[in-house]
A and B are shown apart, each in its own frame.
Chain A
């Protein structure tokens, strides 16, 4: 079964690399939105540094949301979702493969771009490793939870706006624990509690989300 999941991941990665322009979109979105904050708030170094943990994570949430919309869209249009559903392998595992591929495409670039933008927003350097850890633990949760919303909405016209309304409230715990961890790191406080909560959230999402995504896709296909 692992080989089937790997095949799904491989297929999605291949498709993504054939359309490299789409690959850059969430990253560009991230960079541009992060640039807006100093313009809109204040370029003051100390002020921005205090806001930075929240700013980088709010922007991460938005970038994840933007990228979620396309995760099943193409497969819905060309019917490959139906083919996956008809295959003899467990649907939720195949869907999990799709989410994993989506995270590799959109989450992994965040590991590079978020710390970079955080430095531009004057986040103190000692907080960067913790920021990195929160991205590593947090963005998979965003992908898994967001995929539930995408699965529920991508079969319908106007689903894109609905997606934000459905998914952003569910992203709140990730935002809280991740930005608190980074803030605590800035202040030199212990971060293990926040990171442990993020890890627990990741495990919960890994266990439950694939089933919810599978069930949601089934409804959208009917």
Chain B
């Protein structure tokens, strides 16, 4: 197992290994997404309170889950990067930041679109919206590191430290924002986003959640492979690998 992991941390081996997986991952993602979207958007029953607008949840909820899951993956990779100093985990940290920011933005945008018909406004300083926005800022900070610090290894380690600090802080930020919002808006009647969901609505949501996971892994692999090629662009094996195309 350790030997296997060790081999995987070699960029060349990882590039070849992940290349075999990408088409399968993309295929599974496409099938799951089509099934989940068809089931969620067309088959699942209409909500008796929110009407059809609740269906945006099939995009919104998986994105919101992924926005936090990706941060956890990033912090984990950051820990590995600081302890074992592997190049691959630094690459994962920087690529996760971009993908995580995308999921967070998607969750915010779909949340706003859902908020307009449900709350009557695109934006409320609600606890969940606010902490999601701050999460987006945390992602932006990590992305910005790579544009300020040119040396990729140093940037990778700075980003790793920040990812770890962030993972300690996210619960603190989340709970402080929750408390703040309950203090400032005691009378707001929010429709609970996930009341005990009926199975006919829940199953397509779970399919979409798995589809988003697969989408994340596919994206990560594709972005990781590009970054490996870029970082190793002066080596022989990359020139050979690219000469074939």
A-contacting 9-mer, from B99-107, B132-140, B217-225: B132-140
In the assembly, what is the distance between CA of A208 and CA of B165, in Å?
A: 10
**CB nearest neighbor in A for B139:** A169
Q: Is the CB of A216 within 8 A of B161?
A: yes
B-contacting 9-mer, from A78-86, A92-100, A124-132, A155-163: A155-163
Q: Is the CB of B157 within 8 A of A165?
A: no
For residue B36, give the distance in angstroms from its CB to the closest CB of chain A. Answer: 32
A-contacting 9-mer, from B8-16, B47-55, B143-151: B143-151
Contact of B138 among A148, A153, A169, A201 (CB under 8 A): A169
B-contacting 9-mer, from A17-25, A26-34, A43-51, A170-178: A170-178
Q: Is the CB of A212 within 8 A of B165?
A: yes
Q: Is A70 an interface residue (CB 8 A)?
A: no
Q: Is A215 an interface residue (CB 8 A)?
A: yes
* Chain A residues touching B, majority SS: helix
Q: Is the CB of A180 within 8 A of B183?
A: yes
Chain A residues closer than 8 Å to B179, beta-carbon distance: 176, 180
For residue B84, give the distance in angstroms from its CB to the closest CB of chain A. Answer: 15
Q: Is the CB of B162 within 8 A of A165?
A: no
For residue A219, give the distance in angstroms from its CB to the closest CB of chain B. Answer: 5
Q: Is the CB of B154 within 8 A of A222?
A: yes
Chain A residues closer than 8 Å to B166, beta-carbon distance: 170
Q: Is the CB of B134 within 8 A of A169?
A: yes
Size class of the A contact interface (CB-based, 8 Å): 20 to 34
Contact of B168 among A153, A157, A208 (CB under 8 A): A208
Q: Is B177 an interface residue (CB 8 A)?
A: yes
For residue B130, give the distance in angstroms from its CB to the closest CB of chain A. Answer: 9
* Chain B residues touching A, majority SS: helix
| Residues 92-142 of B at the A interface (beta carbon under 8 Å) | 134, 137-138, 140-141
For residue B74, give the distance in angstroms from its CB to the closest CB of chain A. Answer: 15
Number of A-B contacts (CB under 8 A): 69
Known: A156-B149, A159-B148, A180-B183. A215 touches B176 (CB 8 A): no
Known: A162-B148, A176-B180. A219 touches B165 (CB 8 A): no
Q: Is the CB of A165 within 8 A of B176?
A: no
For residue B12, give the distance in angstroms from its CB to the closest CB of chain A. Answer: 25
Contact with A along B180-219 (1 / 0, CB 8 A): 1001000000000000000000000000000000000000
30 CB < 8 A contacts A-B: A153-B158, A156-B148, A158-B148, A159-B148, A162-B144, A162-B148, A166-B141, A166-B144, A168-B137, A169-B134, A169-B137, A169-B138, A169-B141, A169-B169, A169-B173, A170-B165, A172-B134, A172-B173, A172-B176, A172-B177, A173-B173, A173-B176, A176-B176, A180-B183, A197-B176, A212-B165, A215-B161, A219-B158, A220-B158, A222-B154
Interface residues of B (CB under 8 A from A): 82, 134, 137-138, 140-141, 144-145, 148-149, 154, 157-158, 161-162, 165-166, 168-169, 172-173, 176-177, 179-180, 183
Interface residues of A (CB under 8 A from B): 148, 152-153, 156-159, 161-162, 165-166, 168-170, 172-173, 176-177, 180, 197, 201, 208, 212, 215-216, 219-220, 222
